[in-house]
Amino acid sequence: MNLHYVQHVPFEHPGTILTWAKQQGCSLSRTLMYEDSSRFPQQKDFDWLIVMGGPMNVDEEALYPWLKKEKKFIAESIKEGKVVVGICLGAQLIAAVLGGKVTKNPCKEIGWFPISFDDEAQTMPLFSQFAKEMMVFQWHGDTFSELPQEARCLAKSIGCKNQAFVYRRRVFGFQYHLENTAEIIHDLLLHCADELVPDTYVQTQEEIVSHPEYMEQAQLNMGRFLDGLDALYKKGEI
């Protein structure tokens, strides 16, 4: 299987997704949007697309002209029937190209907070293995406040009504992060420290780094999701 990922900033890479892909023997390729020489592959050259997070907003095309090109690539990948997984900004970009609405969330979420899956999500093969409530890492100010047609919400939190969605069985958007490693969180705290303005759902740096057990569980859950997705893909059920 050929897995391609799009990375927007040096400090938000796919983390445990890369570890999983290498263990599975996947062929890996990438587009680094922060490099002038960045190029997207031909659709025939990959099977899965992973779209990572980043500090920019989906509508900042004047500051980041490559956003327009990336949106077109995401839309083409969905049209071609690729498995597409978006995380944070990546999920927002997917929602935007499918006709959803991305806006400021009522509050920022930064740190470890619980999400809850709805009852229908827990009957789906990919999500039935998870507890109804799951602790995840958040770092966002915007969100997909209105989902695209045919997309359905899978999970929510007290601070954000849409935390995950699925579109046509093989396109997934996650507002939260399961892929993070200690290195990624360290780099986020280094490069985005100015966002840690005290608020209801903004934790301190000390709170964020004091829960290695949350990190370990999140990484396990990332592996479980990818294993389940891979199994369904190989069976031709998505």
Q: Which residues pair with 133 in a beta bridge?
A: 116
The verdict on whether 177 is a catalytic residue reads yes
The verdict on whether 179 is a catalytic residue reads yes
- Phi/psi for 193 (5° steps) reads -60, -25
Q: How far apart are CA 9 and CA 7, in angstroms?
A: 6
21-27: Cβ within 8 A, 24+ apart: 24/230, 26/1, 26/2, 27/1, 27/2, 27/3
Q: How far apart are CA 48 and CA 18, in angstroms?
A: 13
Structure tokens at 159: 């601070």
The verdict on whether 153 is a catalytic residue reads no
Residues 136-154 as b or e (16 or more Cβ within 10 Å = b): bbbbbebbbbebbeebebb
89, 91, 95, 96: CA torsion to nearest 10: 20
Which one of 4, 8, 140, 177 is the catalytic residue?
177
CB 76 within 8 A of CB 43: yes
Which one of 26, 88, 153, 160 is the catalytic residue?
88
Helices (H), the chain: 16-23, 66-79, 89-97, 182-191, 205-209, 212-235
- Residues labelled as active-site residues: 88, 177, 179
